[in-house]
Copies of this chain bind each other. A is one copy, B any other.
Amino acid sequence: MKNTFGNSMAVTIFGESHGPYIGAVLDGLAPGIDVSEDYIRHNLSLRRPAGKISTARVEADEFQIVSGVFNGKTTGTPLTILIPNSSQHSADYEKAERLARPGHADYTASVKYHGYEDFRGGGHFSGRITAALVAAAAVVIPELKKKGIEIGTHIESCGGIKDRAFDDYKKDIAFLADTAFPVLSENQAVKIREMMEKVAEEGDSVGGVLETVVTGLPAGLGEPWFDSVESILSHALFSIPAIKGVEFGDAFEKVNGKGSEYNDPFRMSGDRVVTTSNNNGGINGGITNGMPVLFKCAVKPTPSIYKVQETIDINSKENRELNIQGRHDPAIIHRARIVVDSVTALVVYDICAQRFGTDFFGGH
C-alpha cells in the first residue's frame, strides 16, 4: 500500500521536503485515547537536529491536529497531523539539482517518476517525512504504556564505538525516553559524540546500529508465516530511510553457532513462562513468547557528505563530480532512534488491535 501501513490501525504519510506541509493520517485508532500535544512535541524534539553533530536546518516542528481529536481525546475517526515546513532554503539545493547524490534516491526517483518528482531536498524521500511518523506515533505510545507495553532504543554502536548492553530494561527505557542522545553509557556517549564531531570536520558521515527492546508484550501475538512479528516489524522498519538491515536477537552474530547454544530454554518463573536466554528476540515461529522483543537496525552513514563524489548528471547522462554545499547531518543515527521507536509503536498497536479488537485501547 505504498504510503499506508497497517491493518486494524493504519498510518498514511504524505509530503515533500520543500512543500508547504508534511503529515500523517492515523486511521482505526480506538476512540477515547488521550492526546497530549506536549508529548508529541517532546518526541518531535528528540528527532530534531541539534548542535554540531546535526544539520543546521532547524525545524520548529510545529504541528496541527486537524481531524480525529475532540475534547483532547481521539474520536476513533482518522486523526490527521499536519507539520508545516518552515525552513525551505531551496537555493541550497539548486546546484545539485541534476546531479544524482550517491546513496540518495535522486537517480532512482528520476527513473520511477520520469523526472516529474519534486527533487528539492529529496522531496518525498526526505528523512523529514519521518517527523510525521514520530508525531503520529506519539499518539499511541502513551496508550501502549497504559497496557504495560514500553519501547526503548539505543545506539548499539556507531562509528565502531559500542554502547553498553541493555541492563535493566525498565530503567534504561525511562532514561532513553528523555535523552536526545540515546546512549546508555555516559562514557561511550562522550566518545561517540567526539567521534561524530571529528567526522563532521572531515566533511564525512558515519552510521551504526540501533538496538530496540519492546517489553510487556503478551505471548501469543503475531501470526505464522506472512504476518509473523518479524515480517511486520521489518516491513515497517525498512521503510525508514537509511535502514539497511534488521535482525532479531543477535542473529547475524550468532547464527553460525550451535543450536544447543542458540535455542532459548523455557522455564517457569513462578506462574510465568520465561526463557533463560533470548537469542530469538522474544519471538518463536513468528509469535511473541512473552519475553522482551529485541531487534537491531543497521543505519547506514548519512549519504550527504562534504567530500567530492563521483556521480552522473541525471539529465545529460554524463559523468560528473558532486560537491555538496548545504548543511547536513554527519550522523542521523541518534535522530533515527525515535523514528524506530515510533514505527515500532505503530506496529505493536496494530498487532494488538487485530488480536484483541479495536476497543482493546482507548476509552469505553
User: A286 CB to closest chain B CB, in angstroms?
Assistant: 7
Name which of A205, A246, A271, A355 has the most chain B CB atoms within 10 A of its CB: A246
With A102-B275, A206-B259, A238-B228 known to touch, is A14 a contact of B118 (CB < 8 Å)? no
Residue from B230, B252, B355 in contact with A247 in the complex, judged by beta carbons closer than 8 Å: B252
Asked whether, in the complex, the Cβ of B21 is within 8 Å of the Cβ of A67, the reply is: yes
Q: Is the interface of A mostly helix, strand, loop or mixed?
A: mixed
User: A170 CB to closest chain B CB, in angstroms?
Assistant: 23
A75: B residues at CB distance < 8 A: 16, 113, 116-118, 123-124
CA of A267 to CA of B123 in the docked complex: distance in angstroms? 23
Asked whether, in the complex, the Cβ of B108 is within 8 Å of the Cβ of A317, the reply is: no
Asked whether, in the complex, the Cβ of B302 is within 8 Å of the Cβ of A227, the reply is: no
A204: B residues at CB distance < 8 A: 258-260
Asked whether, in the complex, the Cβ of A207 is within 8 Å of the Cβ of B310, the reply is: no
User: A141 CB to closest chain B CB, in angstroms?
Assistant: 19
A7: B residues at CB distance < 8 A: 7
Residue from B8, B125, B301 in contact with A285 in the complex, judged by beta carbons closer than 8 Å: B125
With A2-B226, A252-B209, A256-B158 known to touch, is A265 a contact of B118 (CB < 8 Å)? no
A109: B residues at CB distance < 8 A: 224, 285, 287
Asked whether, in the complex, the Cβ of A114 is within 8 Å of the Cβ of B364, the reply is: yes
Of all A-B residue pairs in the complex, the 5 with the closest CB atoms, nearest first, are A105-B285, A245-B247, A245-B251, A205-B259, A357-B357
> What are 12 sample pairs from A and B whose C-beta atoms fall under 8 A apart?
A2-B28, A2-B227, A8-B354, A12-B12, A13-B225, A105-B286, A205-B258, A244-B251, A247-B252, A267-B310, A276-B310, A355-B357
Asked whether, in the complex, the Cβ of B266 is within 8 Å of the Cβ of A246, the reply is: no
Asked whether, in the complex, the Cβ of B108 is within 8 Å of the Cβ of A288, the reply is: yes
A159, CB-defined interface residue at 8 Å: yes
A121, CB-defined interface residue at 8 Å: no
A319: B residues at CB distance < 8 A: 267-268
Interface residues of A in 68-87 (CB under 8 A from B): 68, 70-71, 73-80, 82
CA of A358 to CA of B7 in the docked complex: distance in angstroms? 13
Asked whether, in the complex, the Cβ of B102 is within 8 Å of the Cβ of A265, the reply is: yes
A177, CB-defined interface residue at 8 Å: no
Q: Residues of A within 8 Å of B, CB-based: how many?
A: 153
A165: B residues at CB distance < 8 A: none
A219, CB-defined interface residue at 8 Å: yes
Asked whether, in the complex, the Cβ of A104 is within 8 Å of the Cβ of B25, the reply is: no
A248, CB-defined interface residue at 8 Å: yes
With A209-B255, A234-B238, A300-B251 known to touch, is A284 a contact of B108 (CB < 8 Å)? yes
A153, CB-defined interface residue at 8 Å: no
Asked whether, in the complex, the Cβ of B355 is within 8 Å of the Cβ of A355, the reply is: no
A19: B residues at CB distance < 8 A: 66-67
A318, CB-defined interface residue at 8 Å: yes
A4, CB-defined interface residue at 8 Å: yes
Asked whether, in the complex, the Cβ of B1 is within 8 Å of the Cβ of A226, the reply is: yes
